[in-house]
Amino acid sequence: MTNNTETAKTPKTLKIRVWENLQLLTLALTIFGQVVVRFDWALYAQMIWLAANVLALSRDFVLHRPMADIVKNACLTALTAGLVISFFI
């Protein structure tokens, strides 16, 4: 296990920085999904949220986030996928 001083000394790779900053894209997709719902386009909003949830879940695995974050995003992804599928049934 490393302490904080060792972690601070190691430079972050570009790949890690990109994955960390993708949370901003997830936030933007969530806000855009809220705007789309306002226009009664629920299916499109759910698809946007599904993309945001898949991105957040992928980010959790790549960045080795805590299990609580992985479970939360897995549940949100499954819930949103279920809502998208229910539109077609």
CA dihedral sign, ordered 45, 50, 55, 59? positive
- Taking alpha carbons only, the member of 60, 51, 61 closest to residue 81 is 51
Distance CA 40, CA 36 (A): 7
Q: What's the confidence (pLDDT) of residue 81?
A: 96
Over the stretch 27-69, which tens digit does the pLDDT of each residue have?
999 999 989 988 778 899 999 999 999 999 999 999 999 999 9
Q: Report the chain's mean pLDDT, rounded to a whole number.
A: 87
Cβ of 52: how many Cβ atoms within 10 Å? 24
Chain mean position to CA 54: 6
Q: What's the confidence (pLDDT) of residue 6?
A: 54
